[in-house]
Structure 1
Amino acid sequence: MKIRFKKQLIFMFIIIATGLSYFYLIDSDSSVVGIGVDDIALIFASAWGVYIWLILYKKPNPKFEYAVWMLCTIILIVLSSWQSYNLYGQNISLGIKVQRTFLVWAILYFPIRKAFYYQLITIQGIKYVIQIIGIIELVLFIGQYLLSDSVSFLYVDQGLRYGTVRYYFQPILIDLLYFVEFDNFIMLKGRKKIVSSVLLITCLLEVMVVQKLRLTSIALILCIMIGTFIAKGSIKKKFMYIIIASIFFLILFKTILVQDVLNELFYSSSHTSTLSIRESGRALYLSSLTNHPLLGGGYPHEECYAAYTAAGLYSKIYLVDNGIFGFMYIYGGIGLVWLVTFWFKMLLKGWNLFKKSKYMAYLLFPIFFLVTGINEMHWYWMNGFMILIFFLALQEQESEKKRYEHLGKYRILTEKINIYATS
């Protein structure tokens, strides 16, 4: 069992690292024997999922608490592909192809959950992998930013904001690391507490300075303030944390980054040229939803001019920049029902876990995406759904563990699982 655990830990590192664009050390447009490197990562993850399912298929299935939403994801993908065909004549296979990452990871939820249940993957093991990959990303991303004037060693898009360079990395793993380390900061002592505090600050600086993600930065700070307020512990310690967080937030309040977000939330976004395009995008998407409230406008593929034009992509209106509005455009009212019920389930489960333990990451991570949802849905785009699936599996396994600990039967559960896993 020990050897198998080590092997699966290595597999998890490879799957997550390759799924997160190979740390941007490889050009995402490159290919091997005609297969894109991103698709190779997806194929490898799929092969691992099939392998896990085959070696465990005779074992009793655990409770898949998110099974309904994962199966409905497949339905959403098919319906959105059909809608693009119905409205714009886009080939149904193109709609499915462009959503293949969403599709594959929805299916991989099942072997990942089962691997957690039978301890081929452990909670601490996957958190360790997240920490290692997160630290590597922080070093590479910040290093590229500091060396931006002299060398470019990462394959990543870049632009300008506030007169300095910004990079378009996928931030979701760093976001998750941020909340995991917040839990560690609250619960650990001594040197480990210092390490967690350094990682917390570094994660925030990367998002604010390297990527200059406005709403993401605000949401990260806001969630920490919420976490500090609800954290279990002495009132004196909580008061000290709240004071420090409040001072830090007041300093940030004066920055251009925060002022831009406030302008967008409370005034017309036309006041700021960099945000005005979102107002046009939302108007376009809401207009489409008025005409197609149930199924939306479908998922556009670049090979279909009509679908691409209808989504505003040729007018530099991007679905990825419009958060929940872009999601509703693709999947319509059915997608909105899926999203609301899915997030309610995550929040409820995160809250119940918090009440049974000191862990706040399982609650704060979904809250974080609620705050950013108006503009950003990093959990959905690109490879973000991969990280969300691992988060769901972590949340379920932690909940299972706490439930049996509460009943005083966790040792019996562990022994039972070990018997199944080794039989």
Structure 2
Amino acid sequence: MKVLKTKASFHININTILLTLLFFFMHNCFYLVDSSHKILGIIGYQDFLFLYCFLICIYYYTRYPKNYFQGTFAKVILFVPIIVILSSFMAYAYYGQSLISGILTQRAWLITMFLYFPFMALIRNGKLNFESFLSIMYKVVFFELILYFIQYFVGESMMFLKVIYNYRYGTLRLYCDTAYMTLLATFATVKFMNKEKIIKNAFFITAVISYVFIVNKGRSACMILLLTIALVILLSKSNIIYKIVIMVLASFLGLYVFLSTETVQEFIAIIFQSADDVTYNVRLQSQQYYLSKLNSTNGAWVFGFGYPNSTNPNSMAATGVYLGYLLADNGIYGFLFCYGLLGAIWYLYSLLVQIKSSIRLLYKKSKDSAMIVTVVIGLASIVTNVQFFYSFYSFYSVLVFIAIELLFKKYEVIYKVKNNELF
């Protein structure tokens, strides 16, 4: 008898690889590379990342050109180039920054927002769904947590990550971007409450909370994460008994483990004991400075004071950088300073679309609370949150937009299947 030999097929999903690399590169290769150095001595990391994002946009446009620039958030994205150009004009008018310099310094925000369209092309053509998106997120966050915790435990003497760090409460504090972690923790909580892969999702929720409290040590980050998880639990479609049990167990665990940490103690002292918060005082001074600039210049309130290029000394002096006032620390105040009321209208429209879509997911689809909680918490942290406009940090906003689109697609498929089963 003849035995037929067959070659084992090995399927490589190019889309998964490209998206995983995108996640990887957006967080400085998980800080394994020094982003201040040139790659192979040829190209700076920021330029490399811009080029990779640009090529992603072009690649998927050539593959799926039909309806490429469409989607729930298409108008939000397509308005970005307009306010970028206007802010460049304002910077030229107020402190002599060249138009090209003004546009180039905002190229990271511009190209990052346009990543929405490649994602949408994949969704529209059935190449990306919510579960495959989450699968990438689980893997990425897992590797981030492993690397960052290892670095924390080995300490400064064996510093292998190229990341900003200092000491807070006597232990190492790493300034790693937690955007993927917080977003995944939200989805993991929804799945946990729906009793889907309970152990896996409980692990990720616990690991992310532990990282934020122990390694990140940011007061606002800690409170926002806990509030996010609590709201997802309260708004979940689980029965009331299950919610109460989870909340009670979580509360006891939190009181036992986290309430004694210096992060929480300092936060409580600031709120209830009027303790000084140096960073808060600097932000107040920054905001007053920004408002004074908008008030003292004709037209600034409408179109903003322009976005400063960090290589231009005049721009740095005019926008208060030399005084220690940074856009990244001032959220909506920094945004208003750069883009004026026109930018504020853009942001409000973006929020309106997000809130409307999230409410539909919560009430009209499958009572999925992940996105409405994400949007509300983002709005609550608007004073310090820069993830909707600042540099490559805005990738978080794109992920929020894409998550909303994926959930719409997911429930649309579910309801189509249910309706077909009726006939």
Indicate the TM-score class for this superposition, using the shorter chain for normalisation.
0.7 to 0.9
1:370 aligns with 2:376: no
Q: Superposition pairs for residues 166-181 of structure 1, below 5 Å?
A: 166-181=173-188
**How far apart, CA to CA, are the structure 2 residues paired with 1:139 and 1:222?**
25
Is this contact kept in 2: 1:19–1:38, CA < 8 A?
A: no
Name the Cα RMSD after superposition: 2.6
TM-score after normalising by structure 1: 0.88
Per-residue CA deviations over 1:184-228 (Å, capped at 9, x if unaligned) read 211234xx3112112111111212221211112101111211111
Distance 2:120 2:272 in 1: 42
Deviations 1:60-96 (A, max 9, x none): 5585111111011111111111111110001122221
Q: Secondary structure at the match of 1:293?
A: helix
- SS at 1:294 equivalent: helix
Task: Pick closer, same or farther for the CA change 1:330–1:234 going to 2, 3 Å.
Answer: same
1:244–1:141: structure 2 CA closer, same or farther, 3 Å change rule? same
* TM superposition shift of 1:347: 2.0
Alpha-carbon shift at residue 396 of structure 1 (Å):
1.2
CA distance in 1, matches of 2:50, 2:261: 40
TM-score, length-scaled by structure 2: 0.88
Which of the numbers 145, 153, 163 marks the counterpart of 1:146?
153
Q: Is the 8 Å Cα contact of residues 79 and 295 (structure 1) preserved in structure 2? A: yes
What percent identity do the matched residue pairs reach?
Answer: 25
1:24-64 deviations in Å (ceiling 9; x for gaps):
1111012235311232132123212212111212x455851
| Cα distance change on mapping 1:179 and 1:304 into 2, 3 Å | same
2:353 and 2:110 mapped to 1: Cα distance? 20
Query: Who is 1:326 aligned against?
Result: 334
One of 180, 205, 213 as aligned partner of 1:208: 213
Whether the 8 Å CA contact 1:31–1:37 is kept in 2: the answer is yes
Structural mapping, 1:333-352, within 5 Å: 333-352=341-360
Q: Whole-Å Cα distance in 1 between the matches of residues 86 and 381 of structure 2?
A: 26
| 2:303 aligned partner | 295
Which SS does the other structure have where 2:311 is aligned?
coil
Q: Which moved further from structure 2: 248-257 or 282-291?
A: 248-257
AA in 1 matched with 2:105: V
Aligned residue among 349, 357, 366 for 2:366 = 357
Q: Distance in 1 between matches of 2:366 and 2:79?
A: 31
CA distance in 1, matches of 2:69, 2:114: 15
Q: 1:193 aligns with which of 195, 198, 211?
A: 198
Residue by residue over 1:129-185, the C-alpha shift from the partner in whole angstroms, topping out at 9 and shown as x without a partner, is 111111111111111111114300000111232333211111111111111211221
1:104 matched to 2:111? The reply is yes
* CA distance in structure 2 between the aligned counterparts of 1:248 and 1:87, rounded to whole angstroms: 54
Change over 3 Å in CA distance of 1:341–1:62 after alignment to 2: closer
Give the AA of the match of 1:76. Answer: I
Equivalent residue, structure 2, for 1:234 = 239
Q: Is the 8 A contact 1:168 1:211 kept in 2?
A: yes
Q: CA, structure 1 residues 323+124, in 2 after alignment: closer, same or farther (shift >3 Å)?
A: same
> Partner residue of 1:276?
281
- Larger mean Cα displacement after TM superposition, 163-172 or 221-230: 163-172
**Structure 1: any 5+ residue segments left out of the alignment?**
412-423
CA distance 1:3–1:71, change in 2 (3 Å) = farther
Say whether residues 1:136 and 2:143 are aligned partners: yes
Distance (Å, rounded) in 2 between the aligned partners of 1:409 and 1:246 = 38
* Letter aligned with residue 338 of structure 1: W
Higher mean alpha-carbon deviation, 100-109 vs 3-12, is at 3-12
Structure 2: stretches of 5+ with no match in the other structure? 1-8
Q: CA deviation at 1:295?
A: 1.9
TM-superposition CA deviations, 1:365-403 (whole Å, max 9, x none): 222212222223234334222232133123113213424
Partners of 1:93 and 1:264 in 2: CA distance: 44
The answer to which of 217-226 and 27-36 deviates more is: 27-36
**Secondary structure of the residue that 2:301 maps to in structure 1?**
coil
Q: Which moved more, 1:238-247 or 1:225-234?
A: 238-247
Q: 1:52 to 1:3 in 2, by over 3 A?
A: farther
